[in-house]
Amino acid sequence: MKILAIETSCDETSAAVVEDGRRILSNIVTSSLPLHKITGGIIPEIAARKQLEFIIPVVEKALELPKSNIKTRIQHPRELFDYIDLIAVTTGPGLIGSLLIGVETAKTLSLSVDKPLVGVNHIHAHLYANWLSDGDQPSFPAIGLVVSGGHTELFLLRSHENIKWLGGTRDDAAGEAFDKTARLLGLGYPGGPAIAAAAAKSQITNHKSQINKLPRPMINSNDLDFSFSGLKTAVLREVNQLKTNKQFDDISIAQLAYEIQESITDVLVKKTLQASQQYNVKSILLGGGVAANKRLTEKFNLEIRNFLPAGEAGKFEINLHIPPPALCTDNAAYIASFAFYHQKQIPWQELMADPQLPVEV
Ligand code: KG4
Ligand code: ZN
């Protein structure tokens, strides 16, 4: 089965064709990120205006790519859809203006080329980037951690049909913590990659640190919730102190970036492993932009050995699945994969964008 998926929940405009939930035939992603770099954060109106420009060419390209080896010329645009079985689209959560572009496009296409339609929850779908692989497929039960710019959520997946929300952030998301603290350090937007790059420089200096260890918010709370807003306050205090002492230089910034990355990744790893042990799962699935963080992968690989018992053949009982970086950040391929495993069709007249679509199921 070949699914055309559309994703426009934030600043990306993406369309993909995926076969049987696993094989990516095309995955086109454009972004208005360069414009948001100038303002240091996403301006929703600018994102939506750009998506309106991008959406038709992006969908066209995604449909054309898998057809490029077919020699016959297309007489009518409708023929581009010949081989598509279903159209999927992100309905929420996200920015209303952005979501509407994708949803209205998908509805129009569904009506005009007569293909069934499926609406997809963007946050649940992030985890399905782990099925877009020829390698080992995730086995159930699994713990899923979605860490993006707006979300930090833990899920228990007993099967494709049985996904339960376990906990999430009470204030800022992990990505938001990276973005906000990067801004305090003057590192620009998006903050995650900027903090990771600055942190990497901290290890090649012997400069004696004046920086205090940052807190690990809620790391020992006996639940599966997160809180990252206090970290921002702690970083602000450090930055002010460094500025007062005239020590706010590249070396201190690198060390502070390192500490920030350590704090956020420590909490994410600990809570995810705690949930994995609690529910005795076979796999851990990561998704969302923050899952592209290399230190997070490194720490998971290390801690999974310390935290969890070895299996019979010396193999660890829990398999860790982390998508390649390009599939961690927003793209339509995982929307298609989710739709393949959840083919809940909806008439085009009933499909609605919902910026507040709940993730708690
Ligand atoms: O999933 P995503 O692309 O968009 C949302 O749905 O929000 O996630 C974007 C978030 C941003 O906060 C960005 O700073 C963070 O992911 N991010 C990273 C890295 N790459 C992107 N955070 C840490 N390390 C990275 N390498
Ligand atoms: Zn996302």
Ligand 1 mutation target, pool 290, 293, 294, 331, most atoms within 8 A of CB: 290
Cis (ω within 30 of 0) for the bond into 217? no
- Sign of the dihedral through C-alpha 53, 100, 169, 288: negative
Residue closest via CA to ligand 1's atom 2 equals 289
Q: Residue 311: its pLDDT value, please?
A: 57
Please indicate whether residue 293, judged by its CB atom, sits closer than 6 Å to ligand 1.
yes
* Vertex 275: Cα angle to 282 and 179 (nearest 5): 110
Q: Residue 40: its pLDDT value, please?
A: 76
Residue closest via CA to ligand 1's atom 8 equals 289
Residue closest via CA to ligand 1's atom 3 equals 329
Ligand 1 mutation target, pool 178, 195, 258, 262, most atoms within 8 A of CB: 178
User: Residue 136 and residue 148: Cα distance in Å, rounded?
Assistant: 24
Output the DSSP codes for 110-167: HHHHT--EEEEEHHHHHGGGGGS-SSPPP-SSEEEEEE-SS-EEEEEESSSS-EEEEE
* Dist. CA 176 → ligand 1 center (Å): 8
- Please choose, from the candidates 343, 295, 340, 344, the residue with its C-alpha nearest in 3D space to the C-alpha of residue 132: 340
Q: Residue 310: its pLDDT value, please?
A: 59
Q: Which residues of the chain have pLDDT under 70?
A: 69-72, 204-210, 308-316
Residue closest via CA to ligand 1's atom 16 equals 289
User: Residue 249 and residue 207: Cα distance in Å, rounded?
Assistant: 11
Q: Per-residue pLDDT tens for 138-184? A: 999 999 999 999 999 999 999 999 999 999 999 999 999 999 999 99
- Please choose, from the candidates 339, 320, 327, 280, the residue with its C-alpha nearest in 3D space to the C-alpha of residue 29: 327
Question: Of the ligands numbered here, which is closest to the C-alpha atom of 90?
Answer: 2
* Dist. CA 40 → ligand 2 center (Å): 18
- Sign of the dihedral through C-alpha 102, 104, 107, 110: negative
- Sign of the dihedral through C-alpha 31, 35, 39, 40: positive
Q: Residue 313: its pLDDT value, please?
A: 47
Residue closest via CA to ligand 1's atom 22 equals 192
User: Residue 165 and residue 262: Cα distance in Å, rounded?
Assistant: 26
Residue 190 Cα: closest atom of ligand 1: 14
